[in-house]
Amino acid sequence: MNFLSIFVLIPLLMLLGLWAARNLNQVRGVMVTGSTALLALSVYLVFAFLDARSLDPQSEMLFVKSIEWFPPLHITYTVGVDGISVAMLLLSAVIVFTGTFASWQLRPLTKEYFLWFTLLSMGVFGFFITIDMFAMFMFYEIALIPMYLLIGVWGSGRKEYSAMKLTLMLMGGSAFLMCGIFGIFYGAGGQTMNIIDIANQTGGAHAIDGNWQMLWFPMTFVGFGILGALFPFHTWSPDGHASAPTAVSMLHAGVLMKLGGYGCFRIAMYLLPEAANELSWIFLILTGISVVYGAFSACVQTDLKYINAYSSVSHCGLVLFAICMATETASVGAILQMLSHGLMTALFFALIGFIYGRTHTRDIRELAGLMKIMPFLAVCYVIAGLANLGLPGLSGFVAEMTIFVGSFENPGTFYTAMTVIACTSIVITAVYILRLVGKILYGTPTNPHHLQLTDATWDERFSVICLILAVAGLGLAPFWVSDMIQTGVHPVIEQLQAAGSLFDSHSNPFL
């Protein structure tokens, strides 16, 4: 048994523990023990990975272990990590850990809530450790379905509508995705589901025919892209986030949307490089729209959660945008942006949840002067806002900087123009963040009832401080992360360059 599988084993044990738990304290005990163990394990993994990487700089995946699962169909349970997945595992562990504390006060049906919550995190961890397409897809779907009940039962507002819309849109995406996976599997000879084998054409796989790639690439990219809030399939995201309970928004924006970007990069770009070079201009335009449109939409919203949800659309659009740029720097930036966005959106949603829990409104027209009433939460909100608009020293700056520098590396008017358009989102982000901060935090409180409200409790402070430390840590010392990511990005970019370049695209009318 490889130690990576412990990432799936711990949630499994947590599920059993929750099943057996009889009262609230036992439920909390199981959750805290489990999520701490996951966090510790992912920190240990970082060090173990860095050690192993310095000994073995060549192989793409480390700690690889394969177990036969369905031999007649060439399906295996194969685990392995590279720099990207290690970073993602760390992110997921942080969010699950803080999410546990953020839902400390949640009622009713706490046990059931944590059951689905844990099942969701099991899917997320499983997705990041496996490198077999079937196993990845299975964990991907495991992560999606608990969302329905988490939003539907414990959500607020139009929760039934939002939960159904979210589930159906994401499942629609995975229908296309499944087709794409079949296409890749049979296109490469139908001998192996292992991503590394297909990419390197080992283990019985051969190159996928270029014409078929043109069919499977859009399916796979859109399939994952729906989860990454790709325009025009992003509409589930604002509704879903607005209706979800606090920790679920955190987990969803913080981790689940990263599954989309990771999948696009790891499966669509890596395994279908010819089509990626040929067709990425289409997705570049779509993601460019996501970036700008998301930011503009955030400007006109009045609900705190909707603002943050559209801001997520914009920032996650930037992830896919950078992936489509297909340069090494931009791709590193994309992964950094996933980390940074995951942490700061989780922070944002946590704070919004805490404020909403006190004021019972998320309408910014009814909120004012919170700085006087709940200074701790308000200061944290300012920090989150600054990270969001890319203040140097916090994580957002590092990620966006890397993305735009990487995007400018692509010569050609089309790519430069797209980069400039995407850059404008920084300004628009500043507009809505500063407007928001000024509106709800400063000024004098208008609602007399709000004056009696209290500041954050210990569990809330704890989860918020953890997230702020992570955001600042990533912003101040980005290099150990970006170096680690670079080793993971390198093989994918090599694969893309071996298959041609973005400028060979015959279908791009802008070239």
Partner 1 sequence: MDYSQFLSMQAELSLLAVIIVLFVADLFMSADNKGGKGVYNTPLPVALLALHTLFLLYSLCPQSGSCHHALSAGSAFGGMFLSTPMTTIVKLTLNLGTLIVFLMAHRWLSREENLVKQGEFYIITLFTLLGMYFMMSSGHFLMFFIGLELASVPISALVAFDKYRYESAEAAAKFILLALFSASLLLYGVSLIYGCSGSLYFADISRFFPSVDALFLLGVAFFVAGMGFKLSLVPFHLWTADTYQGAPTVVTAHLSVLSKGAAAFTLLSILIHFSFNEIIFQAWNEVFVWLIIASITVGNLFAIRQRNLKRFMAFSAISQAGYLILPILGGTAQGMSSMVYYLIVYTVANLGAFAVINTIEQHSGKLLIDDYNGLYRTNPKLSFLLTLCLFSLAGIPPFAGFFSKFFVFMAAFSAGWHWVVLVALINTVISLYYYLLIVKAMYILPSETPISPFRSDRYTRAALFICLAGVILLGLVGSLYTYIDTFSFGV
Q: CA torsion, points 435, 438, 440, 443, in degrees to nearest 10?
A: -140
Selected binder of partner 1 within 175, 417, 476, 477 (CB under 8 A):
175
Q: Which residues contact 9 (CB under 8 A, 6 or more apart)?
A: none
Are 14 and 34 spatial neighbours (Cβ–Cβ below 8 Å)? yes
Closest CA to 286 of 214, 229, 227, 216: 229
- Does 24 participate in binding partner 1 (rule CB under 8 A)? no
Q: Which is nearer to partner 1, 7 or 293 (CB)?
A: 7
- Does 494 participate in binding partner 1 (rule CB under 8 A)? no
Taking the C-alpha atoms of residue 481 and residue 498, their distance in angstroms, rounded to an integer, is: 26
State residue 468 phi and psi, 5-degree precision. Answer: -65, -40
Helix (H, G, I), strand (E, B) or coil at 446: coil
- Does 125 participate in binding partner 1 (rule CB under 8 A)? no
Q: Dig out the tokens for 444 from the structure.
A: 């004098």
Site for partner 1 in 86-115 (CB under 8 A): none
Are 264 and 221 spatial neighbours (Cβ–Cβ below 8 Å)? yes
Q: Which is nearer to partner 1, 70 or 503 (CB)?
A: 70
Residues 32-71, mask of contacts with partner 1 (x by CB under 8 A): ------------------------------------xxxx
Selected binder of partner 1 within 89, 149, 285, 474 (CB under 8 A):
149
Taking the C-alpha atoms of residue 333 and residue 346, their distance in angstroms, rounded to an integer, is: 19
- Does 296 participate in binding partner 1 (rule CB under 8 A)? no
- Does 124 participate in binding partner 1 (rule CB under 8 A)? no
Taking the C-alpha atoms of residue 175 and residue 397, their distance in angstroms, rounded to an integer, is: 36
Query: Helices 24-55 & 110-129, crossing angle to 10 degrees?
Result: 10
- Does 22 participate in binding partner 1 (rule CB under 8 A)? no
**Total of residues contacting partner 1 (CB under 8 A):** 33
- Does 256 participate in binding partner 1 (rule CB under 8 A)? no
- Does 16 participate in binding partner 1 (rule CB under 8 A)? no
Selected binder of partner 1 within 11, 89, 93, 159 (CB under 8 A):
159
Selected binder of partner 1 within 9, 157, 172, 430 (CB under 8 A):
172
Residues 187-216, mask of contacts with partner 1 (x by CB under 8 A): ---x--------------------------
Q: Which residues contact 326 (CB under 8 A, 6 or more apart)?
A: 269, 276, 277, 280, 410, 493, 496, 502
For residue 183, the minimal CB distance to partner 1 (Å) is 7
Tokens 């059951």 sit on residue: 115
Q: Which is nearer to partner 1, 139 or 293 (CB)?
A: 139
Residues lying near partner 1 in the complex (CB under 8 A) are found at 68-73, 75, 134, 138-139, 141-142, 145, 148-149, 152-153, 159-160, 164, 167-168, 171-172, 175-176, 178-179, 182-183, 185-186, 190
